[in-house]
Every structure is written in structure tokens, then in C-alpha cells.
Chains A and B, each alone.
Chain A
């Protein structure tokens, strides 16, 4: 063996090396097998889950939004199904080119392009963004025939929101819009983001916003098998969405329409309330707007027109307009005077046409030059005597005024089921200290007593206060929604309507004041013209609020001043006086006088509600089909 020749040695060496190689290969396979045992046995469950996660996508199924109906079932907000053409930017290489080619198949105008661009920016290109909504059947067919040319473009059936009565009650109903970054943050904070997966829209203003939770419903889900490109292959299982609840309002569409029309070209607000429930029968802020414009995002032209209009149609005057309440507060001041014992019904003054304080040269003038002569409490309301209330104010003091009027809801939110309510100012010593850092002067009280000075209120506050008076001091929170209805079962439950508070006032004083308000509408009263020949007993109080200050020795001449500087006309009313079914507070901006412009509008509204009278030249109220 020692004498191996070189080839034999070489051969042996080769075989040793080959054996070593074979062992190495064997080790390699052994190591790999160990790896596969680890992956397929030890870690099998983990990778099985990963594979299932790959394969199965939980696709949210958006619920249908609830309807908004008036008290008689008239639809104010509804959904309609329409086909949209949507571009998925992740599956489309050249979006510009796609749109250009698409425009040859279906109509794509510049508005659609702008809308698309904006939505792309807002969503940052995630998911599909509509380039066209409401495709016609012909367009559907044309696109279907050419769809192979448009990868990443798809037809989708979607639900759209529609407000069939357009501008009617727009400030009450509000509108929905695409969910914005701010909405997402808000939803995240309230832990609701999960239930908005799959939802594109959210209530932005009005009832659409305040009843968002009820209207939205619960998002369903579908387990869908998807491939690596995200295409769904088949549905494995699904949980259907729960549709949003319908909101049934106390609002009466016919009354609302009558009231809106009664304003004509005037700007203003009117809130009519059912005193025994707090249900809002009409909620007018005039002019309104078409909420349909906002659903898909309003385009710049319409926005500019609405936003820059001197009539400020986007301002909710009923809720957020604060105005000096003027003489409409006199019935409440009378109650303060009676309650504090500073005045008896029989006590009377001789009105020279102005009021002075001892040692003060300033004269607080009555609106009537020369004064009203002998004025007792009843006459002070019927004639709206300022001088009488200057004295009342001076005698009862601001604390007593604040005490009772705050019970009637002045200076606080009424709590109506709408967002954006403002509180106005019911002045008090504290208020002045905190806001103006000044001491209260007794002279301040004198203006407040006739609803001027620091005193401001919203039309809804006026309506609530007069409704509370009509209801003998029992206050119900005003609310637009009456019932929340489950659309599947038809089952409905009432929105809470327990009295908010009961103001402890002597019934005699209230009866006295209410009777005086009835007399306002009768011959000799400030609004006798508006109350003429009414078929029901009608209680009211006029008011006028100055827009510009009148100097001490100047006279107010409506003809001479610019229309925009004319006084605001106010009016509060309820009827029938003995058993009030409706109370209202209203304001006509620059209307001049409460008796001249506001009270006649109130008469139209009351006639409509109580007698079913529709003014001539009122078109038949039928929901119009379709928008645009």
C-alpha cells in the first residue's frame, strides 16, 4: 500500500475530498430541513395567520344614513342611489391622461375636474375618488363598452344625500359633507373612527351635525378574499350594516314655508314653538341657502356668492344672531315689577315723554314725543310706554331683572338641538365687572329695562321666553327632533320632553301680563293693525331695536337714513291666548318697527298654523324631484 503510484494517491485524495463534499451537502440539506421544520411545524400557526391576513380583508359596508322628516312625514333629507365613475389613483398610471380620454366617453366638465382635484388633495390619493357622479344610463353603457381602455377606473353605486325642499329650513337641517381632517381628529378623540370606516360623509351643520350619531347608523363589514393586487375574489361572510335612524321633527314644513315666504325680501329670523312641549314648529333664518350645494363640497363661485352676499345667507340668525330685544322684554319687566312689589297693577304714572333721575341732566326719552299721559301697568304694555319701564328699572334694580329674566332663559343657551347657539347678554353687575371691568351704574339699568343698553338676545331666546310665559312659567327646552325612528322596525321613541323648570310666579301677575299682550293686538294697542279681525285671541308684543345711536335732540327719520341703518323690528306672540298652541319670537333686520313689518309676518304665520290659511301667491308645496 505504501508504494501507491501517483495516480492512485491522487485518486484517493479525490475520493476523500468528494466524501467531505458529500458530508457538507448532507449537512446543508439537514440544516435546511431544520429550517423548514421550524417554519412549518413550530411557527406554522403564526404563518397560517399571516397567510389568512394576506388573503382576507375586512371591507367596511357603510350604512344608509337616516332620513329627516317633518311632523307630517314630509321628507326633508333623503338618500338616492346613483352611479359614479371613480378613479383609483393607485391603479392608474397617468391620471391626467386618463381623465382626458375619459372625457371623450362621458361628459367631464371643468367643474368635475376641479372637484376631483380637490378631493384628491383632501384624501391624498387614498382609495377611489369620483370624477363624475350621477351617470346617465347612456353614459354607463358607453363607459362599459370602453372600460378595457381605463384600468383603475370603475363604476360604483353610491348613496347620495339630497335635500328635496332645497332652501327650506336650511338653517335647521344643515348639510353633510365629506369627512375632513378635522372631522377625523374629532372622531378619533371620541373613539368613533372605527365606525366611520367606509363612510365618506359626516354631518357638518344643523340637525345633520347634532344628530350625526343617530343618523349615521352602524357600519357593517364583509370578509372578502383578495389577491395580492387588492382585487376582491369572493365574499366569505358579511355582517350587514345597521341603517341610521330617521329623525322625525316637530317642524311643520307648511308653516315653515309660509313663514319663510312671509319674510319676502327682508332678512330676519323667526322661531315658532309649541309652548306645551317645546317642539319647534318653524325655524326661520332668512335668507337661507341650498344645502345640496355643500354635499359634494361647494364650488368657488357658489361659495363666493353665498359668503360675500350682504344678506349673509349663511348666518343662522335665529340661533347666533344677537340683537337688542327692545320692547319685547316689557312683559317680562312688568312681571319683575309685580313680583318685587315695586308696582301694583293699579299704580299709574303721568308720562311727560321722558324720564329723568334726580341730579342727572340726561333725559331718557319715550318713543312717543309728548308721552302717553296716564299709564298703568296694562297700558304700559299695550302702548309700549318706555317712561313707565325706565321708572320700573330704576326701582327694581338690575339684580331683580337678572334674577327673573334669567329664569325665562335670557343670557343662556336655550339648549335647542342645534350646534352654534349664542347666548347674547343678560346684563348683571357681575357681567359688567367681568367683561367691561366697570362698576354697575344705576343709569345702566334704565336702558336695560326697555331691552336696550347692554341687553342682547337671540330670536330663539325670545321665542323660548314668550313660550314659557304662554305656558304659565313652565319651560320646555326647545327641540326640533320629536322622535327617533328605527327604519327597520318602524319603532320610534320620543326625544326627552320633560319640563326644564317651572318659574314660581303668581298666576294673577301672569294672567294680567298675558291679557295686556292680548290688548296690544286690539284697537289702541301698538299692533292693532296686525291683530285686526283675527279669528282667535292673539297675544303679542312689538319691539324696535336701534341699529345706530340717535343723538339727544335728534329725531329718527326712517325715510332719511340708509336702509341698512334702519331699526330692527321685533315681535313676540302666542295664540290662542287662553290655550296657547303656538308661541313665536321673531326679528326683521332693518324692518323699521315691530308693528309695521314684524307683526304682520307673525299674523300670516299664526293664521296658517291655527286656521290653515295659506296666503295667496303661495305655490303648492310639493317636494321637487331631483336637484340641480
Chain B
């Protein structure tokens, strides 16, 4: 037992250090911290006029890392025990939102708990893959997974997705659905069914189009041609593309982005922070950040691949794919090739909820990493 051998021979005065670092996966932590550093440097530039946000983000990171550490201390089995309560609780809150949520900007997304407001759909980003991983794990205990299991899993995923879609919040609904679909895919949904679903999905596009809200359709249309509405819905895309393109090979330099500092980039500390990064650090910066993300993803893939149980594998695999999706969608949105949906850039965008959720996911991956040999032996 490697873990145990590390424990022996440690002097008592460094015991607390060991206690603190033992649950953590050092490679994963190092990469995440590097990305966080890049994020803070960028956020400093983006929030130069409102330094309080920078300080708030430092607190968010501290809270997130504490959450990561706490989750990392759990065993995958303990995580599995949390799957059903979290999913059920999240579902309950989603129903409450539908019944008496607060309407902000025409959408019913928030639930007031008196002392704070929460967005229950955020819970489902972790809750849905947890639940599905738990479900497949349970079904595979007695026998190999069957087609019926996948149907039930699909139904389990459909409920929260539909509830979020009708808030309406297309972006989050798609991300929750994606997280669940990754679990279903990794669990081994047959290629034939997968192909059939893709074909059916494409065929139903006109139908889905008719279900979309006007503003959602407009976002998609404007993605095809942002110049249709340069001062309205197309403004975000046009200005962020200008910021990225004007950055060039090496960028305009830290704190020197004109698009950023003359306030042409909207949401420059949250969803569009990548435009700030690209303008000031150029293609070289993007290459560096891509390498960091790919390293994070690669390390997470290794962890998921070596996971001892089906639950751990599916959860780990879907978490890393979700994280990759966030990064790709956000960068694609800033680069003007994907529609404007509210997806933060992992570990870089300002915002407490998303950051804490990401650190929890990293914590879960660390928990899986630490316990791979325990069961394998």
C-alpha cells in the first residue's frame, strides 16, 4: 500500500502537513493552481476599476479550495452515498423554482432562501452526473448493463433538463444534459443507438427550433451573422472578436488592452474574460492556457481511467468532459464560433458559485485518484 508506506517514517512535526496534503493529487492541484494564477492576473486587468471584485475572487478561491479539500477527503463510496440525496434535493428545489422562483430578466431561475439567493440549476451540473453514475453502478452490480438501464438513465436526465429548459435557461439545460449524456456514453450506450439518436436529433431540429424562445433563436441567428445587430445582440460577439483579433501573436500587453480598458468588451470579468486574456496576451497566451487546460484534462483522464469502480470511472470521466466542454464552449463563444451562452471559463471567470462547483469536481477527482489502489488490491 503506497499510501500507507508514505505515512510511515514521517516525523511528528510535519504530521499536520501530511494531514493537509494527503487527500490532494499534487499534479492536478499544481495545474489547477497555475490556471488560477493566470485567471487572477487576467481578472486584475479586467477589474482594474473595481478592485473589490478581485478581492472577492480571492475569497471565492479560498472557499473553493476548502471545499475541494473536504470533498477530496471523502472516499468514492461516500460520494456515492451523496448521489441520491443531492439529485433528489436539487430536483425538489427546481420544482420550487418553477412554482415560486424569482423572475429576473424574464426568466425564473432564482430561489430565495431568505438569507441568500441560489440557482438550483447549478446543483444539477454536479447532481445529474452523480445520480447517473450511481444508477449505472447499482445496475451493474448484479449483471451487465442492458438497454433498459439506458432508457431509465435517459428518463432520469430528462426531468431536471426539462425543468431547467422551461425556466428558461437553454445554456444550463444543455450543460446539465451534456454532463448526463457523457455518463450515458461512457457507460457504454451502443453505437447503433447513439447513431440513431444523433440522426433523430438532427431530424427534429425544426421542431426544437419551434420550441425555442425568440431571444434564443436570435442568439443562434446572430451567431451566423453578428453584423445583423451590431449594437444589440451581436455586440458581444463583434466586440470580443475584435478584442481577440487585435491581440495578435503576443497581445497588447498586460493592462494595455484597449477593448478591455475602454469598456468595449461586455461581461469582461465573467463570461468574456477570455477576450481580455486574448487581447492582452495574444496567441502565445492562448497556446499556454490551452496547454494548461489539456494537461488538466489529461491528468483527469488518467485518474478516471484508473478508477476502481464503475461509479468512480463514470463520475470522473463525465466531470472531466464537462470541464473540457466549459472551456471549449467559452473559448468558442469568445472566438465568435459558438452562440453566446452563460458558460464561465473554468477557474478564470469571476464568480463564486461556478468556482466552488469546479473545485468540488476537482475534489471528487482527487478522491477517486487517492482510492484507486484501495479497491484494486
Instruction: List the interface of chain A (C-beta within 8 A of B).
Output: 6, 10-11, 13-15, 17-18, 21-22, 25-26, 28-29, 32-33, 35-37, 39-41, 43-44, 46-48, 50-52, 54-55, 225-229, 233
Contact = CB atoms under 8 A, between A and B. Distances in A.
Contact of B188 (A14, A37, A225, A229): A14
B45 to A, nearest CB: 15
Given A35-B335, A37-B283, A47 B244 contact: yes
B297 interface: yes
A54 B324 contact: no
A515 to B, nearest CB: 80
B262 A233 contact: yes
Given A26-B294, A29-B293, A233-B262, A44 B248 contact: yes
A6 B140 CA distance: 9
B249 interface: yes
Contacts of B335: 32, 35-36, 39
The list of the 3 closest CB pairs from A to B, nearest first, reads A47-B245, A51-B246, A227-B262
Contacts of A55: 258, 262, 264
Nearest to A55: B258
Given A47-B241, A51-B242, A229 B248 contact: no
Nearest to B263: A228
18 contacts: A17-B186, A22-B297, A22-B298, A25-B294, A25-B328, A28-B328, A29-B290, A29-B293, A29-B294, A32-B290, A32-B332, A33-B290, A36-B278, A36-B286, A40-B282, A44-B249, A48-B246, A54-B264
Contact of B324 (A25, A36, A43): A25
Given A40-B247, A47-B244, 15 more contacts: A10-B310, A11-B313, A17-B317, A25-B321, A25-B328, A26-B294, A33-B287, A33-B290, A39-B244, A41-B283, A51-B243, A54-B239, A54-B242, A54-B258, A227-B262
Contact of B144 (A10, A11, A33, A37): A10
Contacts of B242: 47, 50-51, 54
A43 B287 CA distance: 18
B249 A25 contact: no
Centre residue among A15, A26, A233 by max chain B CB count within 10 A:
A15
A51 B259 contact: yes
Contacts of A32: 290, 328, 331-332, 335, 337
Interface of B is mostly: helix
A51 B258 contact: yes
B304 interface: yes
B324 A40 contact: no
A39 B249 CA distance: 10
Contacts of B144: 6, 10
B21 interface: no
B263 A229 contact: yes
B209 interface: no
Interface string B290-307: 100110011001001100
Contacts of B317: 14, 17-18, 21
Nearest to A20: B185
Contacts of B185: 17, 21
A17 B244 CA distance: 34
Contacts of A28: 324, 328
B134 interface: no
A495 B242 CA distance: 54
B262 A39 contact: no
Contacts of A226: 262
B359 interface: no
Contact of A25 (B297, B313, B331): B297
Contacts of A37: 283
Interface string B173-205: 000000000100111100000000000000000
B294 A50 contact: no
B263 A227 contact: yes
Contacts of B294: 25-26, 29
Contact of B259 (A18, A33, A39, A54): A54
B191 to A, nearest CB: 10
Interface string B259-273: 100111000000000
Contacts of A40: 244-245, 247-249, 278, 282-283, 286
Contacts of A26: 294
B263 A41 contact: no
A6 B331 CA distance: 40
Nearest to A35: B335
Given A29-B293, A228-B263, A18 B246 contact: no
Contacts of B293: 29
Nearest to B279: A51
A21 B321 contact: yes
A228 B244 contact: no
A50 B188 contact: no
Centre residue among A22, A43, A225 by max chain B CB count within 10 A:
A22
A46 B245 contact: yes
A226 B261 CA distance: 10
Contacts of B304: 18
Contacts of A6: 143-144
B245 A48 contact: yes
Nearest to B313: A14
Interface in B157-178: none
Nearest to B290: A29
B262 A36 contact: no
Contact of A225 (B247, B262, B314, B337): B262
